[in-house]
Chain A
Amino acid sequence: MANSQRYTREIPHRYRLEAQKFDSGYVTLATRYICPDSGSTKSEMITLKGTGTILTYTTINIAADSFAKQTPFAIAIIETDEGARLTAQVVDCKLEDVKIGAKVELIFRKMGEEGESGIINYAYKAVLV
């Protein structure tokens, strides 16, 4: 269960695909104080275009309770054209069309609700292009 501040601080990357680009060239959606590759602390924020490629994928048939009603659903590791890596659901397609090397676009979608009066979660999901 997320309270509002826990949810709010994730909004820049989940709603707007705001990512961090270090001077080493390393791009990450998960912002950090220090680049895991170069050790550099110099970075700028960029906005991802939202296009990328599937590196690997699977279909989730058995999920945690909060995702149980959505099964089966596809999930993939995606590398964006800027080089950021992320994990996201792949939606609006046949499960068998999700393949390594497929091109995708990230879109803004509802993820779920936390109880009747809880927060409605939104984030990126991917669609095949």
Chain B
Amino acid sequence: MRDVAIIGVGMTRFGELWNQSLRDMFAEAALKAMENAGVKKLDSLYVGAMSSGLYVYQEHLASVMTDYIGQRGIPATRVESACASGGLSVKSAYLEVASGMSDIVLAGGVEKMWDADDGSFILATASDQEFEAFHGVTFPGLYAMMANAYMHKYGLTREELASVPIKNHKHSVHNPNAQYPYELSFSALMKSAMVADPLRLMDCSPITDGAAAVILCPLDRAKEFTDKPIKIKGIGAATGPIALHDHKDITKLDAVRLAGERAYKMAGVGPNDIQFCEIHDCFSIAEIIVAEELGFFEYGTAGKEIAAGQGTYGGKIVLNSSGGLKAKGHPVGATGTAQIIEAVEQLKGEAGKRQVPNAKIGMTQNMGGSGGSCVVHILEAV
């Protein structure tokens, strides 16, 4: 296996992109990434998307996307693992480069969510269709049930839970690609509509259009393209039960723990070595549970720690410097790739006012459904 580096990144702004189609968005992100890397010809392409078929009735994205970025003829693969599609796309591209099969590979993700009418139904296809969605449960509902179980077990307070989106919105103010780059107050959160008790609208990541792409190549060729290659130091992926009720402990996400352990082992580092992490905060409770499963905080304590400032600049670790899914936006299939772009910008020292001081090693954690799948990347400046 060869070492692999990221040599270019590109993404659309995240938001309600009414004037751009699914293919327009992917092409914008992909062509920006190719320009950023200085490559004109790809050897292969991966595109992550959760549900382009239900959102805009378009499948067969391998053909669509290569056609619209001037790369007809190359091999391409569509990757789907619900909201973890964008992260798994990068892992798949990594394997193709590391194996020696290809040198210059684009990995990206895209989702066109604002064209759809019944988004709650589409997202619920990432749950157990016959045993969860059939009974009317939504994704906010599943995470709300995790939140209620967690609050009951550990005594997490409403204020502590709110500290996650409040922090992430504060970070997003300095992200030019964020969908909602403004600060959020506790009183505004508590005035927002109840979606699924105890989760209010401002606990939930939004509906977002967007695309993101990165270019991978062998580390020993990276200097041909960039002065600042970013090495993919570790990758871990894992699966968990499709139904939340089949999690042995509803306050835990086993797939996140397993993916994290695998990424740490491959990278030869531990939680204390990670300076910043992009966490899949699809709902406020998710960041709390994930931060525990990745080993940043003890079980039952992450809410208290984040509320005390341990998840932001000057604390133990910076969580979601980009603003996270909550404030940056969550175009489901693009999110995992966009998380990696944030890590690359941090490690290159190009994150502006969001910059984590002296950033050398960072992590991204991308998750599907209610913990049915997870992929973790550890990146390092070399």
Contacts and interface: CB of A to CB of B under 8 A. Distances in A.
A75 B136 contact: yes
Contact of B135 (A30, A56, A62, A75): A75
A46 interface: no
Contacts of B194: 59, 61
A65 B121 contact: yes
Contact of A87 (B140, B193, B241, B245): B245
Nearest to B140: A62
Interface stretch (B93-101, B126-134, B171-179): B126-134
Interface of B: 117-118, 120-121, 124, 128, 130-138, 140-141, 144-146, 148-149, 152, 193-199, 241, 243-246, 250
6 contacts: A30-B243, A58-B141, A62-B120, A65-B118, A87-B131, A87-B137
Contacts of B152: 56, 100
Interface string A87-127: 11100000000001000000000010000000001010000
Contact of A60 (B138, B149, B241, B250): B138
Contact of A70 (B131, B136, B193): B136
B195 A61 contact: yes
Given A30-B130, A59-B197, A61-B195, A111 B144 contact: no
Given A86-B131, A100-B148, A77 B245 contact: yes
A57 B136 CA distance: 13
Contacts of B128: 30
Interface of A: 10, 29-30, 36, 55-67, 70, 73, 75-78, 85-89, 100, 111, 121, 123
A66 B130 CA distance: 15
A29 B137 CA distance: 17
A30 B136 contact: no
Contact of B245 (A59, A85, A121): A85
Contacts of B136: 60, 63-64, 67, 70, 73, 75, 89, 111
Nearest to B122: A64
Judged by DSSP, the binding face of A is: strand
A36 B145 contact: no
B135 A87 contact: yes
Contacts of A57: 145, 148
B245 A123 contact: no
Given A30-B243, A61-B195, A89-B135, A75 B141 contact: yes
Contacts of A89: 135-136
Contact of B121 (A66, A70, A88, A123): A66
A70 B141 CA distance: 15
Contacts of A100: 148-149, 152
A62 B138 contact: yes
Given A64-B121, A66-B121, A100-B152, A87 B244 contact: yes
Contacts of A73: 136
A29 B131 CA distance: 9
Contacts of A62: 120, 138, 140, 193, 195-196
B250 A64 contact: no
Contacts of A78: 245
A113 to B, nearest CB: 14
Contacts of B133: 64
A23 to B, nearest CB: 19
B124 A64 contact: yes
A96 to B, nearest CB: 10
A78 B138 CA distance: 17
A85 B246 CA distance: 7
Contacts of B121: 64-66
B194 to A, nearest CB: 5
B120 A63 contact: yes
A75 B137 contact: yes
Contact of B244 (A36, A59, A77, A123): A77
Given A89-B135, A123-B134, 12 more contacts: A56-B149, A58-B141, A58-B148, A58-B197, A58-B198, A58-B199, A59-B197, A60-B136, A62-B193, A64-B136, A77-B245, A121-B134
Nearest to A65: B118
Contacts of A63: 120, 136, 138
- The CB with the most chain B CB atoms within 10 A, among A29, A70, A78, A87, is that of A87
Top 3 A-B pairs ranked by shortest CB distance?
A58-B144, A56-B149, A64-B121
